[in-house]
Amino acid sequence: MNLRDNLAKLTAIFLLAALLSGCTAIQGGIGKKPVTEEDLRTGTEALSMSFLENMPPAQVFSAEDTSAESGLFQLGLKLANKGAADIERGMIALSLETGYVNDVKNKWKSSDSSLSDKYDGNFVTFQIAGKSPENPAGDIITFSKILQAAIPKTDKESQKRKSTIIATACYDYKTRKTVSVCVDPKPFAERVGPKPCDVKDITFDSQGAPLAITKISPRMVLRGGGTSIEFVIYIKNKGNGQIIPSNKIIEACNPKGGDKTFWGSIDEQDLKLEFSTEEGGFKCSPFPMKLRGGDEDYLRCVYESAILGEQAYTTTLNIEFDYGYTHSVSKDITIERPPEIVSQ
């Protein structure tokens, strides 16, 4: 075999190896960074709720005394968890205009068999997983229920009547953020050369939840002859609903109304704040925080232990808000008296 043949053979081997390597990379995802939970903590959505198409229909006939099944129609709801937290305590409650749209105690049906045929009133409870590395889109479930439309005998004037159906979701949600922060045990000491890190503000956009941590402002402080640190944590409701304390989820979905002074607030029990490498806790205030609509508020959190050492260093701060959230969707239907049948 001459030199030219050897070169041709070697070239073919190299090309085959490169081709196989490329196929392996495509099939196995070589060079692709795995999706982590932190990667999914973006956006400001949590639970998305919408009516299924034509459920309820835009127009229905009123029930008649001669037929128990007249006036029946189906309500359908689609729930999609588009955020980065699982919902473990969720409730949907219906607000109906009594007399015009009536709950006839048919049981709720669900695409999740574990939630189907369990409830026959105007509410239903649910659980739904959020985004995860294994399921980056989050879960979707549907619910449906049979209701009955009617124009009561007391309303003798109406041939047609518009009525509004409101579905309200109340559920638990979490906002988590893990961030590297700089602490400086000797912030006022003279130094030669640059510090290993700087104590400075850190800003964020979102964490895959409607409650967003937007900024952390750290400051080294002198306390009791030693050095400690405090954080001012800014948070904002960037979703389309109301934040509620984690222990008020059922109360918020009470269709009878009642005291709603807790809407737009977070209690002290709903915050968990800790260093991953330091012992000791934080004292935060003021509580309750007020976050109605798109409001922004802040907490001042003081670390209650001393920061030890001689040099500035980086550590990890873990922040978790565990709260409730609520929002509603509505749809109008037109109820019409059925046409009279005239006998010939």
Q: Which is more confidently placed, 325 or 13?
A: 325
User: How buried is residue 319: exposed, middle or buried, by Cβ count under 10 Å (0-12/13-18/19+)?
Assistant: buried
Could you read off the pLDDT of 70-103 as tens digits, one per residue? Answer: 999 999 999 999 999 999 999 999 999 999 999 9
Q: What is the pLDDT of residues 30-47, one digit of tens each?
A: 556 777 878 889 999 999
* pLDDT-based confidence at residue 257 (cuts at 50, 70, 90): low
Q: Which amino acid is at 163?
A: S
Domain match, 94 and 214 both = no
DSSP state letter for 247: G
Residue 255: how many other CB atoms lie within 10 Å: 14
Taking the alpha carbons at both ends of the chain, their separation in whole angstroms is 106
Q: Are strands 242-244 and 109-110 parallel, antiparallel or unpaired?
A: unpaired
Q: Which of 79-83, 205-209, 278-282 has the lowest mean pLDDT?
A: 278-282
Number of domains forming the structure of the chain: 2
Q: Assess whether pLDDT exceeds 70 at residue 267.
A: yes
Same domain for 158 and 231, yes or no, is no
Please check whether residue 164 lies inside any domain of the structure. yes
Question: What is the Cα 270 distance to its own chain's centre?
Answer: 15
Q: Which stretches within the chain are classed as H helix?
A: 3-28, 37-40, 249-252
Q: What is the mean pLDDT of residues 63-76?
A: 91
The pair of three-digit structure tokens given for residue 62, joined into one six-digit string: 């009123």
**Model pLDDT, residue 36:** 83
Reported confidence tier of residue 23, pLDDT bands at 50, 70, 90 = very low
Q: How many helices and strands (H and E) does the chain possess?
A: 3, 19
11 within a domain of the structure (yes/no): no
> In terms of domains, do 312 and 240 share one?
yes
- For residue 134, pLDDT over 60 is answered with yes
Residue 110: its pLDDT value, please? 97
Q: What is the pLDDT of residue 296?
A: 87
Secondary structure of 64-132 as H, E, C letters: ECCECCCCEEEEEEEEEECCCCCEEEEEEEEECCCCCEEECCCCCEECCHHHCCCCCCCEEEEEECCCC
pTM: 0.85
Same domain, 239 and 189: yes
On whether both 137 and 248 belong to a single domain, the answer is: no
* Co-location of 212 and 166 in the same domain: no
pLDDT band at 248 (very low <50, low <70, confident <90, very high): very high
For residue 22, is it within any domain?
Answer: no
Please check whether residue 12 lies inside any domain of the structure.
Answer: no
The predicted model gives 186-200 an average pLDDT of 86
pLDDT at 25: 41
Residues 152 and 285 in one domain: no
Q: What is the pLDDT of residues 307-338, one digit of tens each?
A: 988 899 999 999 999 999 999 999 999 999 98
What is the domain range of residue 87? Answer: 39-172+328-336
Output the domain CATH number for residue 138. 2.60.40.10
Question: Do residue 302 and residue 181 come from a single domain?
Answer: yes
Residue 231 lies in a domain: yes
For the cut 60, the answer to whether the pLDDT of residue 243 exceeds it is: yes
Q: Is residue 344 a part of any domain in this protein?
A: no
Alpha-carbon gap, residue 275 to 34, rounded angstroms: 26
Tell me: do 130 and 209 sit in the same domain.
Answer: no
Please provide the size of the chain in residues: 344
Establish if 31 belongs to a structural domain.
no
Average pLDDT over residues 252-280: 85
100 lies in the same domain as 219: no
Work out the average pLDDT over 142-167.
Answer: 94
- 187 and 314 assigned to the same domain: yes
Local confidence band at 295 (pLDDT 50, 70, 90 cut-offs):
confident
Identity of residue 319: I
Q: Residue 85 has what pLDDT?
A: 97
pLDDT at 164: 97
Q: What is the mean pLDDT of residues 192-205?
A: 90
298 and 184 within one domain: yes
Task: Check if the beta carbon of residue 297 is closer than 8 Å to that of residue 270.
Answer: no
Looking at the domain assignment, is residue 13 inside a domain? no
